[in-house]
Structure 1
């Protein structure tokens, strides 16, 4: 087992538990132990700053009942503007916040509880549930997600009623949110669906139980029989160790390596289960484990598009005169926030990369840092087209200046005096410096030129 030195460990920690280490934090990396750096990440993430750009629910019925085509058009335009605004607002928060562990974990739960809704207020509610509980308790979060209008709507539990149960939420609750496929039967899906009958939301976007729609009959689930409701079903799922293992496996693939190590996953599951699903002890266990810092687990994971954009924004203090460009980046790279491909979320890993997306990934950083022009071409997801404005209408419409302002003075000013070019490259890139990277380092005559070349390498795509 080959280990890496302390400063490299802390850079690795920040690349996985956050969105990367800035040069302004480099002195901390040099003078802290790993345990101190982990504690600092948690301390910085104590504050919960919810997204609050959407003030309230759009009154669908008032808009649509009038029957005026212009009124309906205005409604859908407002709806799209809210969706776009929410997306950009979250990316900006991730890019600027000191609570990067909380936001990084919010991004994980955003994909774990993948959900699509055309109602931006519902989307904001759900996102804030993820953020509030991101490093808190999984059971608390699961219950709140199960009662969130966005999820109740997306998985059709609003239509789940006695005598006509809808199984969508019950199935995904087990397959994707808790114990995982192979650990339940089709009959248990049916019984679970009956337990969630009557769960819904009102016009104000508040969770309600509707007793007249709830099935009060006996249900048999995971070997137990009773007049169960939804909360009892969730308790029984969490009582199964398989749930702790399922969550731990996904977290391992998100934080450590795309290929799970069974012994490490089992150890994580023990911590999660024994803490009654508190997430903080599990994360601290991972971040302070020697195996987290093995060379085989460093610089080996492809950054998700949003992580890629956010880490670049943070590293270079990028400001966007036209924030819509960030949504064009997301769409072109295959990860538009709030629009997962399906209820299973984005598959991640090598799925992020194809010949087209890699070309854009290589070009985007240098374009952003130089205020250049970039063409976005490709075929939009039909479902995305209904929601996302100003993207992929035509080549002419999107071949525009990115209109960005990286703060080079701040970036260069934060690099400690006498820092070698090799050290700068090690901070910019997560993988070990190979010969082609060292060629860039050795031939560069100034730091800015070198950095732009480094962010244009395939190595910059890895964390």
Structure 2
């Protein structure tokens, strides 16, 4: 694989596609990998301040009408946070940070209507996305969003609630089958008393905590919640479980090489769960660029939307359009389908969603107005969509304003006879056979060089191959 092709694959996996300037000036993989990591902490994305939340949070003394209005306001703010983060993915100079944060957003799946808690959880994720997994795990576990979502606010020594303890093991660290029901019960006792106050700050309520001795994963002691998390981090299976998920996310969701995963997991464990070091090692391995890994991933809806918005680029005339798109494509940020998050992979595509995906480029970049009849969603996602005020039975793809100038000027440098092949190499994960290129040439608009470039781009984005990276 040539250096430019390697650069493109890395930008596709570690971000949301390669820019024309980066495509024009490929870098050695080691240098490129190092340049992907931000040099400073992620700036917070804020839709509500702590002071504003403390002043306006829902209160018991509110009457029914006030509560209804407050719920509507909270749902609107969660939608605003969705759009703010999506725009950060589009505009960021460090897409690896947002791409990895998107992974953790699915790993630590959480769906609640509280915008301040969701904002706090997102900041914990983005602050630690490329840092230490132990720090990330502890920050998320003590966040009001997760403690609320997994019912640990109700976890008291008289009546232990096992939900939080179970998901910490099954979904966040070890994976199913690597703990017993007794471990769940004992961990739940250790997490008793963990909760949050009205302002969202973590609190440890000593009176609600079970001080008795616990037996957990072969160890015995007067454990508290921090002890349980430390014991989980000491398990090598935690490193294996997290590495497997990162491998499927960044390398291939269709084929997992267990030998390579185990090698990476040993490295991850040895490096004290340093996420950045694990990704750097993964991205600089020769096998990462093997032919079998090219096009081995299906773009998630958010990756697809952000990729559209970055490639040309474009802006939607209706700022709510990205929310509607997420809903119809099946990945609404801050509204995962369940506690396990989005299953990903082939689950992103079915017969109807593929048709919708292939019609989007003409709606965004062309001149057609397209009406789509939305298919029925599962109850949970439909409910979440309604709460974000994006539920509608028929969706008109609102017009977008693409900025073609830089894109067209760049590709004008290509000779007309080589343009289809060159554009395909830029937009698709692998080269098209000559017969498909001939079809593109046949249907492309040749009224001018500008229209030829635009129409070829749209035709390529409408191909099934564009759904892969």
- TM-score bracket relative to the smaller structure: over 0.9
Deviation by residue 1:407-435 (Cα, 9 ceiling, x = unmatched) = 11122234473374122221111133234
The root-mean-square deviation of aligned C-alpha atoms, in Å, is 1.7
CA contact (8 A) 1:45 1:102 kept: no
SS at match of 1:405: strand
1:5 and 1:36 map into 2 onto residues whose CA distance is: 16
Name 1:193's counterpart in structure 2: 188
1:114 and 1:317 map into 2 onto residues whose CA distance is: 30
Name 1:139's counterpart in structure 2: 134
Find out whether 1:51 has 2:51 as its counterpart: no
Q: TM-score, normalised by structure 1?
A: 0.94
1:306 and 1:253 map into 2 onto residues whose CA distance is: 17
Find out whether 1:296 has 2:292 as its counterpart: yes
After TM superposition, the structure 1 = structure 2 runs for residues 41-440 of structure 1, keeping only pairs within 5 Å, are 41-42=36-37, 44=38, 46-56=40-50, 57=53, 65-69=61-65, 71-258=66-253, 259-370=255-366, 372-376=368-372, 377-380=374-377, 381-392=381-392, 394-395=393-394, 398-399=395-396, 401-415=397-411, 417-418=413-414, 420-421=418-419, 422-435=421-434, 437-440=436-439
SS at match of 2:387: coil
Runs of 4 or more, structure 1, over 6 Å off, are none
Q: How many residues in Structure 1 have an aligned counterpart in Structure 2?
A: 452
CA contact (8 A) 2:239 2:266 kept: yes
1:416 and 1:278 map into 2 onto residues whose CA distance is: 44
For residue 41 of structure 1, report the CA deviation from its aligned partner: 1.1
CA contact (8 A) 2:247 2:256 kept: yes
For residue 371 of structure 1, report the CA deviation from its aligned partner: 5.1
1:64 and 1:439 map into 2 onto residues whose CA distance is: 67
Name 2:455's counterpart in structure 1: 449
Q: TM-score, normalised by structure 2?
A: 0.93
For residue 251 of structure 1, report the CA deviation from its aligned partner: 0.5
Find out whether 1:21 has 2:18 as its counterpart: yes
1:103 and 1:61 map into 2 onto residues whose CA distance is: 29
Name 1:36's counterpart in structure 2: 31
For residue 313 of structure 1, report the CA deviation from its aligned partner: 0.6
1:124 and 1:435 map into 2 onto residues whose CA distance is: 49
Worse overlay, 441-450 or 270-279: 441-450
Worse overlay, 176-185 or 412-421: 412-421
2:408 and 2:186 map into 1 onto residues whose CA distance is: 61
Unaligned residue ranges in structure 2 (runs of 5+):
447-451
